[in-house]
């Protein structure tokens, strides 16, 4: 085992785990300055971590370079030393709090990386609640900001939605420091030290009515920075959205609201509620819960599932919330199913990501959102799920008996074939609807038609090329899914009027164009078929990442970025191919 210095990756000294020097064990943020690695330090995890940090650093460099000739301040106060590699021609780097207080200069561009999980202290601002000590560092840093300057700080997401956080930001605004941008940094940016994911918050002395929000991603660093600097709305979270400050609390909640809105578009009868709107009580206990009708049990810690019966709880009762539901709005068994869905899991995960030490409190549960159909539809869904569970049990029993009853193989296969296709079709419909709810992104693209120009009502080769170049872009990137028969807004419009009378003719035409424009050698990487979605036909095209460069008509090279497909030429094409297809 080696102790690796995080600053220069040098091997410092060999210790047994129980002989680590005491100084290395002490850290206010519970994240050590040094971490233990195996002898082989060039691991995939490190490479991934470096790429994620590099995305953040390159974004800040892109913004900081706008202040040509200005003064830059880099506050590298945490044990992560995230900004070690940031350097500007006229920059001051401070690694200790005392030096920040004693520095008398003002700066045009400030970035700050502070410790997380510090103890609560009195605020330097004029309001009573105690705050995490690192929030005072923000205020001290902002006091060094020039009138036209910008500051960026890595901070806990709770600063945007907690009561104390909102009060703190309001107090900053009274001092004429306004937050104007919130950026979701790449996931696991501090892995393996911690899974905690902060946000990057930007401040200036200029007040804006809207907040610029974006998911930082490597492909769109320049676009995001340009949109942020010009305060431009791209209507895509990947490249930047302008939103009213009062409407934004966290990136997870923003995604949840978007998916619920899309769910209501797909299913008109769905409504979104807060748990507090549909519950009679939310209870905690130190021992055992008193059994009640129509309750769900939501785990406070760990990865246990939400259950609808006290008999199904897997951990101690003091680690659950007992949510007693109003039967006029929700049935416990349905809500249990909801929390198993992708949207439900996203909602649960969002409840425990606000602080450095993950935790869920009663207010989090009460304010969390759910999407509910009417009670009769909930009952139908519960009944359907019970039938699927019966079917699953039958399949499990057949698997156990198959090895002992080989004569039954033909009978089992015949019955399996009779139910496989209908179930597969239902499964694909749900999967497609789930993709639509997420919206377009790096690995999802919508096209309303394949051949028809909806403006001229005629066949159009350029429309066909638009779909095919997306397929090429997916093959040259990380793969993805193209849905034809879905509008940009996520409405299922169908392909019924796309000039092909039967599914077979549609699929044959599509296959012929892949062969002539992309190449038959890519067939193994492209899987496509037509499915029924909400009563309309949708062509779903799944593309895997290629190991060789793919071209449209052997000349045009496309790459899927977030959330567009770009044509690369010249040096850019050469560099991409060199790096992507090593």
Determine the 3-state secondary structure of 474 from DSSP.
helix
- Same domain? 292 vs 176: no
Q: To the nearest whole percent, how much of the chain has pLDDT over 90?
A: 45
Distances (CA, A) of 426 to 38, 374, 423, 531, 533: 47, 21, 5, 9, 9
pLDDT of the residue at 13: 42
- Same domain? 241 vs 258: no
Q: 421 lies in a domain?
A: no
- Same domain? 287 vs 201: no
The pLDDT of residue 38 is above 50: no
Domain boundary among 375, 391, 426: 375
pLDDT of the residue at 369: 85
pLDDT of the residue at 488: 87
| Distance from chain centroid for Cα 403 | 44
The pLDDT of residue 22 is above 70: no
Q: Which of 81-95, 174-188, 235-249 has the lowest mean pLDDT?
A: 81-95
Q: How many domains does the chain divide into? A: 4
- Same domain? 138 vs 259: no
- Same domain? 27 vs 87: no
Cα separation of 297 and 393, whole Å? Answer: 25
pLDDT grade, residue 389 (50/70/90)? confident
The pLDDT of residue 1 is above 60: no
Query: What is the average per-residue pLDDT within 133-161?
Result: 92
For residue 309, give the CATH number of its domain: 3.90.220.20
User: Concatenated DSSP letters for 62-82?
Assistant: HHHTTSTT--EEEEE-STT-T
Highest mean pLDDT among 42-51, 62-71, 551-560, 563-572: 551-560
Opening angle at CA 347, ends 427 and 483, nearest 5: 35
Q: CB of 182 within 8 A of CB of 216?
A: no
- Same domain? 241 vs 345: no
The pLDDT of residue 562 is above 80: no
- Same domain? 244 vs 311: no
- Same domain? 31 vs 60: no
Does 41 or 324 have the greater pLDDT score?
Answer: 324
Query: What is the average per-residue pLDDT within 157-166?
Result: 88
Domain boundary among 249, 282, 304: 249
Query: What is the average per-residue pLDDT within 551-575?
Result: 91
Cis omega (within 30 of 0) for bond into 563 = yes
Q: 144 lies in a domain?
A: yes
Q: 439 lies in a domain?
A: no
Query: What is the average per-residue pLDDT within 401-424?
Result: 65
pLDDT grade, residue 9 (50/70/90)? very low
Q: 297 lies in a domain?
A: yes
Where do the DSSP E strands lie in 95-138? 107-113, 120-121, 131-132
Query: What is the average per-residue pLDDT within 370-379?
Result: 87
The pLDDT of residue 296 is above 50: yes
What is the enclosing helix (H) or strand (E) of 452? Answer: strand 452-453
pLDDT in tens, 175-233: 999 999 999 998 888 877 777 889 999 999 999 889 999 999 888 899 999 999 999 99
Cα separation of 342 and 437, whole Å? Answer: 11
Side-chain-side CA neighbours of 165 within 13 Å: the count stands at 15
Q: What Rg do the C-alpha atoms of the chain give, in angstroms? A: 27
Q: 171 lies in a domain?
A: yes
pLDDT of the residue at 408: 66
pLDDT of the residue at 28: 36
Q: 425 lies in a domain?
A: no
pLDDT grade, residue 257 (50/70/90)? confident
- Same domain? 32 vs 102: no
- Same domain? 280 vs 152: no
Q: Domain of 347? A: 254-375
Averaged confidence pLDDT in the chain:
83
Q: 542 lies in a domain?
A: yes
Distances (CA, A) of 252 to 100, 167, 256, 258: 33, 21, 6, 10
β-bridge mates for residue 532, sequence order: 537
Q: To the nearest whole percent, how much of the chain has pLDDT over 70?
A: 85
Hunting for tokens 């705050």 — which residue is that?
131
- Same domain? 192 vs 66: yes
Q: What is the pTM of this model?
A: 0.61
- Same domain? 178 vs 222: yes
- In our burial notation (b when 16+ CB lie closer than 10 A, e otherwise), range 151-169 reads bbbbbbbbbbebebbebbb
Q: 403 lies in a domain?
A: no
For residue 478, give the CATH number of its domain: 3.30.950.30
pLDDT grade, residue 350 (50/70/90)? confident
pLDDT of the residue at 357: 55
Does 513 or 402 have the greater pLDDT score?
Answer: 513
Determine the 3-state secondary structure of 576 from DSSP.
helix
The pLDDT of residue 7 is above 50: no
The pLDDT of residue 98 is above 90: no
Domain boundary among 348, 375, 402: 375
Opening angle at CA 480, ends 479 and 484, nearest 5: 140
pLDDT of the residue at 275: 93
């Amino acid at each position: 085992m080696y102790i690796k210095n995080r600053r220069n990756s040098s091997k410092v000294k060999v210790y047994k785990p129980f002989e680590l020097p005491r100084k290395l064990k002490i850290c206010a943020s519970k994240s050590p300055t040094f971490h233990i690695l195996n002898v082989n330090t060039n691991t995939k995890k490190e490479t991934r971590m470096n790429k994620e940090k590099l995305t953040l650093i390159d974004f800040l460099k892109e913004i900081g370079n706008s202040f040509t000739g200005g003064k830059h301040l880099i506050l590298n106060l945490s044990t992560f030393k995230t900004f070690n590699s940031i350097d500007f021609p006229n920059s001051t780097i401070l690694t200790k709090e005392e030096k920040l207080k004693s520095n008398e200069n003002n700066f045009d561009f400030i970035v700050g990386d502070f410790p997380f999980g510090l103890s609560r202290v009195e605020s330097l601002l004029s309001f009573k609640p105690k705050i995490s000590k690192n929030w005072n560092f923000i205020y001290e840093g902002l006091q060094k900001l020039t009138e036209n300057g910008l500051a960026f700080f890595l901070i806990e997401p709770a600063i945007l939605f907690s009561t104390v956080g909102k009060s703190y930001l309001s107090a900053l605004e009274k001092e004429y420091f306004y937050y104007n941008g919130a950026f979701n940094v790449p996931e696991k940016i501090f892995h393996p030290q911690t899974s905690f994911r902060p946000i990057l918050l930007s401040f200036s002395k200029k007040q804006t009515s809207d907040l610029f929000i974006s998911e930082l991603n490597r492909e769109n660093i320049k676009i995001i920075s340009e949109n942020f600097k010009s305060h431009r709305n791209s209507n895509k979270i990947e490249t930047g959205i302008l939103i009213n400050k009062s409407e934004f609390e966290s990136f997870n909640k923003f995604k949840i609201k978007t998916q619920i809105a899309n769910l209501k578009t797909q299913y008109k009868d769905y409504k979104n509620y807060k748990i507090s709107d549909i519950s009679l009580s939310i209870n905690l206990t130190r021992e055992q819960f008193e059994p009640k009708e129509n309750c769900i049990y939501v785990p406070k810690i760990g990865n246990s599932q939400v259950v609808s019966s006290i008999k199904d709880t897997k951990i101690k009762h003091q680690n659950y919330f007992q949510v007693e539901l109003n039967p006029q709005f929700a049935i416990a068994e349905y809500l249990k199913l909801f929390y198993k869905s992708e949207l439900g899991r996203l909602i649960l995960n969002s409840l425990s990501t606000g602080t450095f030490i993950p935790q869920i409190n009663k207010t989090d549960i009460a304010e969390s959102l759910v999407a509910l159909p009417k009670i009769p539809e909930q009952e139908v869904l519960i009944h359907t799920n019970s039938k699927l569970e019966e079917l699953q049990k039958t399949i499990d029993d057949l698997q156990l008996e198959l090895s002992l009853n080989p004569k039954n193989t033909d009978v089992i296969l015949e019955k399996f074939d009779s139910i496989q296709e209908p179930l597969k079709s239902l499964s694909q419909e749900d999967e497609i609807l789930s993709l639509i709810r997420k919206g377009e992104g790096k690995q999802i693209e919508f096209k309303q038609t394949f051949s028809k120009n909806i403006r001229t009502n005629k066949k159009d080769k350029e429309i066909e090329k638009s779909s095919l170049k997306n397929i090429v872009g997916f093959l040259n990137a990380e793969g993805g899914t193209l849905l034809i028969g879905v509008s940009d807004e996520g409405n299922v419009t169908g392909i019924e009027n796309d000039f092909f009378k039967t599914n077979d003719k549609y699929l044959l035409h599509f296959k012929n164009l892949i062969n002539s424009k992309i190449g038959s050698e890519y067939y193994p990487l492209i899987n496509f078929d037509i499915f029924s979605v909400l009563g309309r036909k949708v062509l779903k095209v799944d593309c895997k990442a290629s190991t060789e460069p793919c071209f449209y008509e052997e000349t045009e090279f496309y790459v899927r970025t977030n959330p567009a497909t770009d044509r690369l030429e010249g040096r850019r094409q050469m560099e991409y191919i060199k790096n992507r297809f090593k």
